[in-house]
Amino acid sequence: MTWLQFIAGASLIAAGVIVLSLSVFGVFRFRYVLNRMHAAAMGDTLGILFVLGGLIVLSGFSALSLKLLLTIIMLWLTSPVSSHLIGRLEIHVNEKLNEHLKEVKH
């Protein structure tokens, strides 16, 4: 493994950890559930891409890198769908949604 490969992989993993940490901060910072869900879903998707991309760079071209790539594709397809379904459930179930929207407008 060359130093350049190690630096690129470590940088991607570090960027992923930073994105995931900011996502956790966003989940605790926002008050409304849909804002929290958005912060978690966006940070989750981008953070996982960076971390698993860094692992692909570190492992080189192998069967492991193919499995990691398939994992990225699977997570990128399922995470937005699950976030959308949770958001729709919140909109249909939350009785105080109109009150929250009035607070946001003012």
Residue 102 has pLDDT above 80, yes or no: no
Q: Note the helical H segments in 1-106.
A: 3-29, 33-59, 63-93, 97-105
* pTM for this prediction: 0.80
In terms of residue numbers, what domain contains 97?
A: 3-105
In this predicted structure, the answer to whether residue 6 has a pLDDT above a threshold of 70 is yes
Q: How many domains does the chain have?
A: 1
Count, in order, helices (H) and strands (E) of the chain: 4, 0
What is the distance between the alpha carbons of residues 4 and 65, in angstroms, rounded to a whole number?
18
What is the band of 7 on the pLDDT scale with cuts at 50, 70, 90?
Answer: very high
- pLDDT for the residue 20: 94
Q: What's the mean pLDDT in 70-86?
A: 88
